[in-house]
Structure 1
Amino acid sequence: MCDRGMAIVVGTPDDLDQVVGVLREWQAEGAPMQLHPGDVGWYRRFGARTGAVRTWSRGGRVLAVGLLDGPTLLRLTAAPDVWQDDELARRMSEDITEPDRGVLPAGEVAVESPVGLLLEDHLSEAGWTAGEPWTPLRRDLTDPVEDPGVRIEVVGPERVAERVAVHRSAFDGSTFSEEAWLLMAAGVAYADARCLVAYDGDDAVAAVTVWSAGPGRPGLLEPMGVHRDHRGHGHGKAITVAAAAALRELGSSSAIVCTPSANVGAVATYRSAGFRPLTEVRDQVRSSST
């Protein structure tokens, strides 16, 4: 337990591995969708720098973690026992809302936090409003996962070029590279992760990275994509089924993913792979005029 007489301090961690360990401890089956160690693992493709990560601590204990997913989006979560801690929520709201605190810049920005975090109330009081809806989806991994129906390979150094090519084709404007993959794979989070590639004949047609948070905890798909030249043939479903199977092998209790609700094709793909949509969630947004 924290000493509530001590001040809450915001800062950057000494290393990303420290943050991954904390986030693993906070993942729990049945909890709302929240920042996952896999999110930090995927960020590791930019290297080991910690400048995009913020932590809120009290008495030496990390209470909350935020990841700047780009310059204007802060994704965050907190330890389960402090979700309703008013002192923490108030301090986080002040740090996030006031640009001179160095957490988010002035102008239009967004915060993604799990449903039930008291921070949401404080941001609403400060004039933040609901953003676009996102759909979390979950697949239970108690039972064995069916065969995906296509050839699936686990990516090692010899398949990095194919994995990168699929990603860059799937996501317009992507800068993902072989060097970035190697940086990501060097992080501690990747010890409990796998990159998979699906093949149609000799063609690499879809790819996914899955991240375990440890046995008995939900695992994350981030990212999943289908090569633009091979869409419409069920490869998205196949690689998603393979992702669920890989997470089950890693000991995950469930597989989770989140996608914009407006991306109806992605939602349909995940549903076809046995994922169940959960209640929509929304970021909280501060407009440039607030």
Structure 2
Amino acid sequence: MTTTVDVPDTSALRAVVTTLSSWQRDAPLVQLHPGDLGWAWRHGATSVAAASRVWSDDGVIVAIGFLDGPSVLRMTVAPERWADPGVARVISEGLSRADDERFPAGALSVEVPTTTAVHEHLASTGWAAGEAWTPLARDLSDPVDLPLPGFRAEVVDASSVADFTTVHRSAWGNASFTAERWQTMVGGTPFDAGFCLLGRDGSGAPVAGVTVWGAGNGRPAILEPMGVHADHRGRGFGRAICTAAAAVLRERGASIAWVCTPSSLQSAVATYRSAGFSPLEERFDRVRPV
């Protein structure tokens, strides 16, 4: 079989998301999740399609990548092709050539599961270790206790989206996430298995928010992103909204809740650990030699 890589059009995105969802496993960490595409969907389906890369063998998808900005490619491989040296070679050679049409020239970091043949091939051909990331997981087989008295969380709908987006803009110092962008995001295919939670304190003030992406019953979900309003930090609301998200995911049949954060953000790692998430093995991007 011949492995080829294409940029899908918008009509192919549902199949891409469905395939990516089917690849999610409790272990090992799959790396690219439908939620990665879902969060980017706030900019529209055309933008998501333009940033997606799909490797196929005779029409069967064997790997999926997503350009998260101009110099980062997040990707994963079909579980049955995880260790396939032929697929790894084709992907690695394509990434190394970089034609500025499918893959950008210049600086490029690739996030790919550590145990895949792709990761091993990149490492063996001079791609250096890049940024360190800490993935964390919470098993949802046991009941989830909500630890913060007076805190309540609600699934975001049209009546609460203004409060939710206000929290996000404050938490991240970014004015671009508006109610209109939220509406675009929730209309995307990945949000079929997703939801947003808004946390309020005892007075009813919006204090924290998280967007949660599922992959189907019995599969792992991912929290991305989570934030606390700048005026309400240091009161345990980050822990509370993550715990609330885990509780909802358990009710909806997810197997595990995942988060992933740069290892340098020790405060974020501490917040997730306080919410019952356990660190997994640290992983590193691979950086293309220049």
**TM band (smaller chain):** over 0.9
SS at match of 1:114: coil
SS at match of 1:100: coil
Q: Normalising by structure 2, what TM-score?
A: 0.94
Q: Normalising by structure 1, what TM-score?
A: 0.94
Written as runs of structure 1 = structure 2, the 5 A alignment for 1:16-35 is 16-35=13-32
User: Cα deviations across residues 191-232 of structure 1 (Å, max 9, x unaligned)?
Assistant: 211100111223111000111111111111011011111100
Q: Is the 8 A contact 1:148 1:239 kept in 2?
A: no
**1:87 & 1:203 partners in 2: Cα distance?**
55
Q: Is the 8 A contact 1:212 1:250 kept in 2?
A: no
In structure 2, give the amino acid aligned to 1:280: E
Written as runs of structure 1 = structure 2, the 5 A alignment for 1:90-239 is 90-100=89-99, 102-149=101-148, 150-173=151-174, 175-200=176-201, 201-239=203-241
1:61 to 1:101, Cα distance in 2 relative to 1, 3 A:
farther
Question: Number of residue pairs matched?
Answer: 283
1:172 to 1:285, Cα distance in 2 relative to 1, 3 A:
farther
Q: Is the 8 A contact 2:127 2:286 kept in 1?
A: yes
**1:174 & 1:250 partners in 2: Cα distance?**
32
Post-superposition shift, 1:188? 1.8
**2:77 & 2:195 partners in 1: Cα distance?**
26
In structure 2, give the amino acid aligned to 1:32: L
Q: What does residue 272 of structure 1 align with? A: 274
Post-superposition shift, 1:76? 0.2
Post-superposition shift, 1:39? 1.2
In structure 1, give the amino acid aligned to 2:9: D
SS at match of 2:192: helix
Q: Is the 8 A contact 1:161 1:178 kept in 2?
A: yes
Q: Is the 8 A contact 1:140 1:253 kept in 2?
A: yes
- Percent identical among aligned pairs is 51
Residue segments in structure 2 that go unaligned for 5+ positions in a row: none
In structure 2, give the amino acid aligned to 1:210: V
**1:185 & 1:32 partners in 2: Cα distance?**
25
Q: Is the 8 A contact 1:148 1:242 kept in 2?
A: no
Which of 87-96 and 235-244 deviates more?
A: 87-96
Residue segments in structure 1 that go unaligned for 5+ positions in a row: 1-5
User: Cα deviations across residues 66-116 of structure 1 (Å, max 9, x unaligned)?
Assistant: 011111100000100101111111111121111216333222110000121
In structure 1, give the amino acid aligned to 2:38: G
Q: Is the 8 A contact 1:160 1:178 kept in 2?
A: yes
Q: Is the 8 A contact 1:33 1:136 kept in 2?
A: no
